[in-house]
Amino acid sequence: MTAGHFRSSAWDPFLIIAQIISMQSAFYVGLGVWIAMVDFVAGADRSLEQFFKYEELQFKEFTGRLIMGAFVLNSLTCALGLWYTVKRTKLCLDFASTVHLIHLVVCWGYNARFPYTVSWWLVNIICIVLMTVLGEFLCMRSELKAIPLGMGPKADL
């Protein structure tokens, strides 16, 4: 980075890939923690189907609503990941969408069919919006902090 530039404008594919891997890891680890807490509260059995199966996210059953809540809480947790990992307001939507696009592909592979339930789509769209908005809010607060210009006494000009 040259002197006088706040951010490097060079395209760094290794950094981008590392950030994607970091955010995807944060997504699944966070979701695992939230689902484990939900399973403890509901007394349900833990399984990978709670992560990937479309039918698990449903409004009719109590455990389905709890899993939906875990997804929503995970989007708030991942917003912290955006703040810590990405640190750029204008990139929050890109990374939140990428995380959920990769989740879509993984779910599609796990179920061997494209998502068809309205509840699955609704939960994921809400999660993208929440993750993006909160991530942008946190990143913006960091980006707008005052930058101290001098540590010495003021010079009278």
CB atoms within 10 A of CB 6: 8
The answer to whether residue 58 scores a pLDDT higher than 70 is yes
pLDDT at position 27 over 50: yes
Is residue 46 very low, low, confident or very high in pLDDT (cuts 50, 70, 90)? confident
Distances (CA, A) of 50 to 24, 28, 64, 104: 17, 12, 9, 14
Q: Provide the pLDDT confidence category of residue 156 given band limits of 50, 70 and 90.
A: low
- Distance from C-alpha of 50 to C-alpha of 28, rounded to nearest angstrom: 12
Half-sphere exposure of 148 (CA within 13 A, CB side): 5
What is the end-to-end Cα distance of the chain in Å, rounded? 32
Q: How high is the pLDDT of residue 55? A: 85
pLDDT band of residue 17 (cuts 50, 70, 90) is very high
Average the pLDDT over each of 20-24, 64-68, 93-97 and give the range with the smallest value.
64-68
More confident residue, 9 or 145: 145
Nearest to 30, CA basis, from 131, 110, 136, 111: 131
Q: State pLDDT tens for residues 70-128.
A: 999 999 999 999 999 998 889 999 999 999 999 999 999 999 999 999 999 999 999 99
Write down the mean pLDDT value for the chain: 87
Q: Exposure pattern of 112-150 as b/e (b: 16+ CB <10 Å)?
A: eeeeeeebbeebbeebbebbbebbbebbeeeeeeeeeee
Confidence of residue 5 (pLDDT cuts 50, 70, 90): very low
Q: What is the DSSP letter of 89?
A: G
